[in-house]
């Protein structure tokens, strides 16, 4: 009887730790971790005809991947998907008034600006990003 109780006393906490560790080792958050072992690109693939639903906190468009496939920049830097970023771009003087987006992301004024974003995507995933849909 003592051996049975001892086994359960050791086995249950050990089993709980294994279950906890298995749940916690699901990998890093792709939105916050640039360097991981997973090389599968996570891209936003919703095809919006307009920008409704892009406002921060709005559930109209789900933008939870690392890359914004619509606009060709990392999701966390996409002011068209997250309007709360606009003020910081404007404060830095990084704003294209003609196209109403960050100058550093205005590929209409200078298509070569996309190269730095493409290079970041390639460094993370090892292949070229999808072409922006907008």
- Each residue's pLDDT expressed in tens, for the chain with a length of 134 residues: 656 565 666 666 665 555 555 555 444 444 444 444 444 444 444 444 444 444 443 333 455 689 999 999 999 999 999 999 999 999 999 999 999 999 999 999 999 999 999 999 999 999 999 999 88
Closest C-alpha to 126, from 26, 63, 36: 36
**What is the spatial distance between Cα 47 and Cα 87, in angstroms, rounded to a whole number?**
26
- 7 is a domain residue: no
Number of domains in the chain: 1
- Rounded distance, CA 9 to CA 48, Å? 56
Position 25 in a domain: no
User: DSSP state, 113?
Assistant: G
Instruction: Give residue 120's domain range.
Output: 42-49+59-134
Neighbours of 48 (CB within 10 A): 16
**Report field, pTM of the whole predicted structure over 0.85:** no
């Amino acid at each position: 009887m003592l051996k049975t109780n001892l086994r359960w006393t050791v086995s249950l906490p050990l089993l709980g730790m294994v279950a906890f560790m298995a749940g916690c080792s699901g990998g890093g958050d792709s939105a916050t971790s640039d360097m991981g072992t997973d090389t599968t690109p996570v891209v936003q693939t919703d095809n919006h005809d307009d920008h409704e639903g892009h406002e921060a906190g709005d559930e109209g468009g789900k933008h939870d991947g690392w890359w914004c496939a619509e606009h060709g920049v990392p999701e966390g830097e996409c002011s068209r998907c997250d309007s709360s970023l606009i003020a910081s771009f404007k404060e830095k003087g990084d704003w294209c008034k003609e196209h109403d987006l960050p100058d550093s992301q205005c590929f209409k004024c200078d298509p070569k600006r996309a190269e730095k974003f493409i290079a970041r995507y390639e460094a993370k995933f090892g292949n070229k990003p999808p072409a922006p849909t907008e």
